[in-house]
Amino acid sequence: MAERLILVVDDDPDILQTLALCLSTEGYRVLMASNGQEALDILSKEQPACILLDLMMPVMDGWQFVAELEKRGMRHAPLLILSADRSVQGHAVKLHANDYLAKPFDLDELLGKVHNLTGGPNGHPHRRTG
């Protein structure tokens, strides 16, 4: 069975490493990007089950990244916004994100949200009927 693929987009290398370790320990396959442009490059080749997105990044921030996704018709994966901004909930609503977490966040809470969005590392959030 294929592992669930998670794309983590954040310009903080410590957060990337922590999330990659935490998610891979849970059985997810993790791809990392340090800005929206890198994330778009990854999405041209991969289809993640969930995208964890920081909003404030250099090169291409989270807002531009979501706008690009929509423009290219590539917005398929659930979006979990991660931000130190106090109004992260409002941003998440504006971006039509599936969920959000304010930084600093609790890793167990993050894992719970990722699990809910993906059905778990080997889950089936999208059941095929037929």
- pLDDT 10s digits, 84-114: 998 999 999 999 999 999 999 999 999 999 9
Q: Does the pLDDT at position 130 exceed 90?
A: no
pLDDT of residue 127: 42
pLDDT, average across residues 13-29:
97
Residues of 43-63 as b/e, b for ≥16 C-beta within 10 angstroms? Answer: beeeebbbbbbbbebeebbbb
Domains of the chain: 5-118 (3.40.50.2300)
Residue 27 has pLDDT above 60, yes or no: yes
Task: Please give the share of the chain, as a percent, with pLDDT higher than 90.
Answer: 88
Task: Assign 113 to helix, strand or coil.
Answer: helix
